[in-house]
Amino acid sequence: MVSDPIVEKISELKKKHNAIILAHNYQRGEVQDVADYVGDSLGLSQQAAKTDADLIVFCGVHFMAETAAILSPNKTVIMPDEHAGCPMANMITARELRKKKELYPNIRVVCYVNTTADVKAESDICCTSSNAVKIVSSIPEDEEILFIPDKSLGAYVSSCLNREMIYWEGYCPTHHRILADQIVKMKSEHPEAEVVVHPECTPDVIALADNVASTTGILKYANSSNAKEFIIGTEIGILHRLRKENPDKIFMPVTPLSDCPNMKLNTLEKLLWSLEDVQYVVTVPDEIAKKALSAIQRMLDLS
Ligand code: 13P
Ligand code: SF4
């Protein structure tokens, strides 16, 4: 096999800095392939919390790197592209959340990890797509819940638990490009295929699914299922691992439009440059980090 000089340099610089590369399941295939760990938001936070590396190179979007910085305050966290944000996370600000809380003084705020650190700092407990049902069910039935910012994940959790919640009107623009009609058409062409979707999809899409799971949950399901064909309703970056880990199975994205442009901002070249210059450093002010940590830690303790 011909070795890639960029990959070699990344590996040298990783040793020099005692660095670990964490990558989300939606990253470009070549970025995933040089990472020490590839996973979903929960797995990435757990890795960030336990690593003994000095430098964490976070290949994902900004809220994920921020969470790593909060969990590892004594380490340096960098992102290859500082502009890789999450539009859903930007659909709520701490100021807007404080105003909403004034209307419901005793409400418990459950925040999806796809939020900025200052929004987490205003929340009671954090959750990810893999543990949202468990986190919400840990809150006593008689307490009212404000679920932020993803109304689709909120509606999914409500339906699983048969429990009302107040939702924020946020959503993922990438997952909302996945349409129920497309799945119905694909299912008629591939009746044996299983439909596996992420809970950020709309309720009509979720209603058609054989399995609803986080990105790592989707991988686990596909790896263990006896089905040979799968219709995949999530961001298309996940196809890299699905196909790599299951060469004998067929994975069909519902639409090639479910491509998150922010996730794809990180390239192998930018990853190399970030290690060369130790940039772009992600920091969270101490006061915010302390408050956000309690919401994140409550989640990790339950996970
Ligand atoms: P996961 O936690 O399932 O990996 O999802 C993160 C995300 O941003 C989905 O759009
Ligand atoms: Fe945010 Fe959606 Fe991209 Fe995930 S896929 S990072 S929720 S915009």
Instruction: Determine the atom of ligand 2 nearest the C-alpha atom of 60.
Output: 6
pLDDT digits (tens, 9 = 90+) for 78-129: 999 999 999 999 999 999 999 999 999 999 999 999 999 999 999 999 999 9
Ligand 2 atom nearest 172 alpha carbon: 2
pTM of the predicted protein model: 0.96
Q: How far apart are CA 27 and CA 252, in angstroms?
A: 18
Position in ligand 1 atom list of the atom nearest CA 26: 4
Are 274 and 288 within 8 A, CB to CB?
Answer: no
Mind listing the pLDDT tens digit for each residue in 213-259? Answer: 999 999 999 999 999 999 999 999 999 999 999 999 999 999 999 99
> What span, in angstroms and rounded, lies between the C-alpha atoms of 290 and 70?
8
At the second CATH level, the architecture of 178-253 is: 3-Layer(aba) Sandwich (3.40)
207 alpha-carbon distance from chain centroid? 21
The domain spans of the chain are 4-85+263-287, 89-172, 178-253
Whole-number Å distance between alpha carbons of 200 and 181: 17
CATH superfamily membership of 4-85+263-287: NadA-like (3.40.50.10800)
CB 170 within 8 A of CB 181: no
Q: Give the Å distance between the CA of 273 and the centre of ligand 2.
A: 24
Identical fold, 89-172 and 178-253: yes
Tokens 């959790």, residue? 157
Tokens read off for 254: 């519902």
- Taking the centre of ligand 2 as the mean of its atom positions, its distance from the CA of residue 115, in whole angstroms, is 11
Token code pair at residue 208: 């058609």
Q: Probe ligand 1: pick from 63, 66, 128, max atoms within 8 Å of CB? A: 128
Topology annotation, domain 89-172: Rossmann fold (3.40.50)
Mutate-to-test residue for ligand 1 from 200, 235, 236, highest number of ligand atoms within 8 A of CB: 200
Summarize pLDDT for 18-62 with one digit per residue, the tens.
999 999 999 999 999 999 999 999 999 999 999 999 999 999 999
- Residue nearest (by alpha carbon) to ligand 2 atom 2: 172
8 A C-beta contact, residue 19 and residue 274? no
257: which residues sit within 8 A by CB, 6+ positions away? 177
| Closest to 126 (Cα-Cα) out of 86, 98, 89 | 89
